[in-house]
Amino acid sequence: MTSRERTTSPLRAHYDTVVIGGGPAGSTVAGLLARAGHDVALVERARFPRFSVGESLIPATYDVLERLGMIDRLRASSFVEKHSVQFISERGRESAPFYFRETDPSERSQTWQVERAAFDQMLLDNARDLGADVHDETAVTEVLLDGNDGEARASGIRVRRADGESQEVSASVVVDASGRRSLIARKLGLRYGDPLLKMAAMFTHFEGGQRGEGIDEGATLIIHTEDQNGWVWYIPMPNNRVSVGVVGPIHHLIQGRQGDPQKVFDEEIARCPGVRPRLESARQAMPIQVLNDFSYRSRQAAGHGWALAGDAYGFLDPMYSTGVLLALKSGEMVADAVDGGLRAGELTPARLGAFQPRLDAGIESFRRLVYAFYDKRFSFADFLKSTPEHRGAVVDILVGDVFDRDFEPLFGAMEELIPNFGPGAAAADAEARAAASSTVTNEVALA
């Protein structure tokens, strides 16, 4: 059996680490731990390849992808090269592109727009090649936890295999990379939402959409709608496709509208002069997909014998395309923490979750820039015109260079234009955390 053939045999009875979920976070954790010499199983409920949204990578993914040995595979792929992000106003006025090379002229400043089914398959195959025991079409029906709060201790998982049989697997560490299902965080009542980001997204793919030329062919476009009640992402992809998504408040896109998602999507595109001409000759290639209320975080990233990675820990917003970066980066942090804990024989919350402050600090930098974008009082064009000295810091965040960085000068300057921009964000987060900690749910999601 080659490394890329599907594994149909039962899992073994025990592993050093079991990873739930085969997306970018799970494949990163499993691959790095297997390469470090640990006995790792990765279980994924779907059969790969499978569709996923989130096609746009940002340059800071380069370091993790290089560590995984993925860069040559990406260079050899048909994925579209991405060098910049560009903003388009509600009137269709285009900003100058934010080229990532402005702050880093190295090869690290170029990234890709990917087809996620193919990209995720590449990462999963890579985890196999590095030695992980990969089982797709294997649904986790229960995470075995002793206790009902953040002090719960994990001992393994119960699965339903592709052949329909159930099996219990023990593990020294369980890593939850199950995505939005957030198996452990939901079961332990650790998840809390962001009261300022109650958003929905409607998205699809088009064939034949207009794109830029040369270095601008693969630029991500972020386009305001006329009423500024939403925005549109426009992402060039391989095979003459573009990913197009409408994002806006839930009360605007869903609760305040009548009709099916296709009708709402078409209405929003009609209100977006920056995107209409780009789709004049295009053909919609798949039905509208809908996600809502997708911004959340977990109060705790790890416990006794367990850790959370990727969307299982939290998701911010589609703005700035941070999803895959945070999946890869959190996966790397979790893998390093678990590796150290297994070698030291210390699988405590403090040891396995030591990365959380650093991860949260990076997420917070993204989040404050997201808040600025959604605040109608704020204009990036006007801000950078009046304070050009902060353009480099903005580009650094768009690149994803947010870990171990101090952006307070940037955010301080923003707050001068947006009263309560900083304190308001902190207060909202504290309120959400308090609400989450006072309400423990026993909801069980199935992977």
Proportion of the chain above pLDDT 70, given as a percent: 92
- Give CA angle at 251 (248, 256), nearest 5°: 110
Could you tell me the end-to-end alpha-carbon distance of the chain, in angstroms, rounded to an integer? 27
The CB density around residue 119, as the number of other CB atoms within 10 Å, is: 25
Q: Does pLDDT of 156 surpass 60?
A: yes
The token pair that represents 215 in the structure block: 């270095």
Burial class, 231, CB count within 10 angstroms (exposed 0-12 / middle 13-18 / buried 19+): buried
Give the model confidence (pLDDT) of 252-281 as tens digits: 898 867 779 999 999 999 999 999 999 999
User: How far apart, in whole angstroms, are the C-alpha atoms of residue 16 and residue 231?
Assistant: 45
Residues 397-403: what's their mean pLDDT?
A: 96
The CB density around residue 216, as the number of other CB atoms within 10 Å, is: 15
- What architecture (CATH level 2) is domain 1-79+114-193+298-447? 3-Layer(bba) Sandwich (3.50)
Query: 443 pLDDT band (50/70/90 cuts)?
Result: very low
Residue type, 182: S
Residues 62-85: what's their mean pLDDT?
A: 97
Q: Does pLDDT of 375 surpass 90?
A: no
Give the model confidence (pLDDT) of 51-62 as tens digits: 999 999 999 999
| Residue 167 φ then ψ, to 5° | -155, 140
Give the model confidence (pLDDT) of 113-145 as tens digits: 999 999 999 999 999 999 999 999 999 999 999
What pLDDT shows up at residue 123?
98
Query: 444 pLDDT band (50/70/90 cuts)?
Result: very low
Exposure class string for 371-399: b at 16+ Cβ within 10 A, else e: bbebbeeeebeebbeebeebbebbbbbbb
Query: 421 pLDDT band (50/70/90 cuts)?
Result: low
Q: Give strand ranges (E) for 126-198.
A: 133-135, 139-146, 153-160, 166-176, 191-193
What pLDDT shows up at residue 1?
37
Query: 446 pLDDT band (50/70/90 cuts)?
Result: very low
Give the model confidence (pLDDT) of 193-231 as tens digits: 998 899 999 999 999 999 999 999 999 999 999 888 889
| CA atoms within 13 Å, Cβ hemisphere of 380 | 25
For the chain, which residues make up each domain, given as ranges?
A: 1-79+114-193+298-447, 81-108+198-292
User: How far apart, in whole angstroms, are the C-alpha atoms of residue 328 and residue 399?
Assistant: 14
Per 3-state DSSP, what percentage of the chain is helix, strand, and coil (rounded to 5)? 40, 25, 35
User: How far apart, in whole angstroms, are the C-alpha atoms of residue 8 and residue 28?
Assistant: 22
- pTM for this one? 0.91
Residues 329-346: what's their mean pLDDT?
A: 98
What pLDDT shows up at residue 439?
39
Give the model confidence (pLDDT) of 35-44 as tens digits: 999 999 999 9
Q: Does pLDDT of 441 surpass 70?
A: no
Residues 395-418: what's their mean pLDDT?
A: 93
CB contact set of 444 (below 8 Å; sequence gap of 6+) = 142, 183, 186, 187
Give the model confidence (pLDDT) of 231-248 as tens digits: 999 999 999 999 999 999
Query: 293 pLDDT band (50/70/90 cuts)?
Result: confident
> Could you tell me which residue, 381 or 278, shows the higher pLDDT?
278
Query: 329 pLDDT band (50/70/90 cuts)?
Result: very high
Options 3.20.20.120, 3.30.830.10, 3.40.50.620, 3.30.9.100; which CATH number does 81-108+198-292 get? 3.30.9.100
Same fold, 1-79+114-193+298-447 and 81-108+198-292: no
What pLDDT shows up at residue 380?
84
Residues 389-399: what's their mean pLDDT?
A: 95
- Give CA angle at 35 (31, 36), nearest 5°: 120
